[in-house]
Amino acid sequence: MLRRTRIAGGVRRLAAVAWLLALVGCRGKAAPPASVGTLHVTDDAGRVVHVRAPVRRVLSLLPSLTETLVALGAAETLVGRTRYDTLQALRRLPDVGGGLDPSVETVLALRPQVVLGFASPHSPHASLAEVLARYGVPTLLFAIQDTADVFRSIAVIGRLVGRENEARALARRLRAAFDSVRRVVAERPRPRVAYLSGGTPPYTASNTTFLGQLLELAGGRNVFPVLERPWAPVSLEEVVRRRPEVLVLPTGSGVPDLASLRRAPGWRDLPAVRTGRVVWIDADLLHRPGPNLPRVAWALARALHPEATASAPAGR
């Protein structure tokens, strides 16, 4: 559930923290006009955002973008983290709270030159961007749905922090890794596979998402290639009707084990459950569209084609 109360509360408390704003150099005015030392970036919300260059202080509210900065060798630009940023190298950084409901006061105190957030009609980051803009802090909003968006976000962030060569190199590594997976599973039979996440009803991913695309890249046939929305709920009856041979589930509390699935009405009728072809992948890895997607692709390929991937290095 997206919580907007923290952001709204942050707005109401801004008057009470004038001393803090003075301390961090924010004057409550609109962002300064673009100048010679400014990057002009159009974000995924269609906003033209002006960021003073060189960018040395970044706050990312999306773990996937945080991991991209680390992969580019730009971890030193990060001034804070969310509670969902679990990399050991980031533990020393100040915690701003949740990615969707960060503490506004803490964000301002960290004096970021730019904040990276999520562009979505349902995301509170659009409201947060308006608040931060009043104090001269620009926000770039990203909408990362598919693998093309992943590569685009790498390029944008590389340009932002002056690591364009590193961004191109990272993109090449990701493409090479994807090509390696394709070669390994080429010409293999393509089992029917379903990714399911969440409660009742479960959510799944179409082929317009990075996860649906990775299911296909890894040698499977996504049983939900087309949905009304990229990520959408589906009924258990519809899952049973499509008869997935492999089931992909994220790890986490409340996720059933195989024994529970074999006792559950409906679930026990799935070919994947009857044959034990259910794979659990770390939720943080599975749901973050960033530089670790090759690890997801290999994990899926192992689940779909264990005989073809047996010799693949374990770290992949």
Tell me: do 193 and 133 sit in the same domain: no
Tell me: do 119 and 210 sit in the same domain: no
Q: What is the CATH number of the domain that holds 217?
A: 3.40.50.1980
Q: How many CA atoms lie within 13 A of 49 on its CB side?
A: 28
For the chain, give the mean pLDDT.
88
What letter would DSSP give residue 3? -
Q: Provide the pLDDT for residue 314.
A: 52
Tell me: do 109 and 198 sit in the same domain: no
Q: Provide the pLDDT for residue 252.
A: 81
Q: What is the DSSP string of 247-307?
A: EEEE-STT---HHHHHHSTTGGGSHHHHHT-EEEE-HHHHT--STTHHHHHHHHHHHH-TT
Domain count along the chain: 2
The answer to the question of residue 158 being in a domain is no
Give the residue among 29, 18, 60, 51 at the shortest CA–CA distance from 136.
Answer: 29
What letter would DSSP give residue 29? -
The answer to the question of residue 52 being in a domain is yes
Q: What is the DSSP string of 32-91?
A: PPP-TTEEEEE-TTS-EEEEESS---EEESSHHHHHHHHHTT-GGGB--B-TT---GGGT
Q: Provide the pLDDT for residue 37.
A: 85
Tell me: do 83 and 201 sit in the same domain: no
Report residue 262 as tokens: 């074999």
The answer to the question of residue 162 being in a domain is no
The answer to the question of residue 114 being in a domain is yes
| 94 three-state secondary structure | coil
Q: Which domain holds residue 289?
A: 187-304
The helix (H) or strand (E) run that includes residue 169 is: helix 164-185
Q: Provide the pLDDT for residue 316.
A: 60
The answer to the question of residue 201 being in a domain is yes
Q: Which of 87, 114, 143 is the last residue of a domain?
A: 143
Q: Which of 89, 122, 143 is the last residue of a domain?
A: 143
Q: Which segments in the chain show pLDDT lower than 50?
A: 1-36
Q: Provide the pLDDT for residue 19.
A: 28
Tell me: do 210 and 280 sit in the same domain: yes
C-beta pairs of 26-33 under 8 Å, 24+ apart in sequence: 26/108, 26/135, 26/136, 26/137, 27/135, 27/136, 28/134, 28/135, 29/134, 29/135, 29/136, 30/133, 30/134, 30/136, 31/133, 31/136, 31/137, 31/138, 32/136
The number of beta carbons lying within 10 Å of the beta carbon of residue 37 is: 9
Q: Provide the pLDDT for residue 309.
A: 80
As a whole number of angstroms, the distance between CA 189 and CA 306 comes to 12
Q: Provide the pLDDT for residue 240.
A: 97
Tell me: do 12 and 122 sit in the same domain: yes
Q: Which of 143, 174, 209 is the last residue of a domain?
A: 143
The helix (H) or strand (E) run that includes residue 222 is: strand 221-222
The answer to the question of residue 156 being in a domain is no
Tell me: do 86 and 205 sit in the same domain: no
The answer to the question of residue 65 being in a domain is yes
Tell me: do 124 and 245 sit in the same domain: no
Residue with tokens 């393509």: 190
Tell me: do 43 and 138 sit in the same domain: yes
Q: How many CA atoms lie within 13 A of 46 on its CB side?
A: 2
* Cα angle: 55, vertex 58, 60; to 5 degrees: 145
Instruction: Determine if the peptide bond prior to 54 is cis (ω within 30°).
Output: yes
Tell me: do 13 and 122 sit in the same domain: yes
Tell me: do 191 and 114 sit in the same domain: no
Tell me: do 86 and 196 sit in the same domain: no
The answer to the question of residue 191 being in a domain is yes
Residues ≥6 apart with Cβ < 8 Å to 92 = none
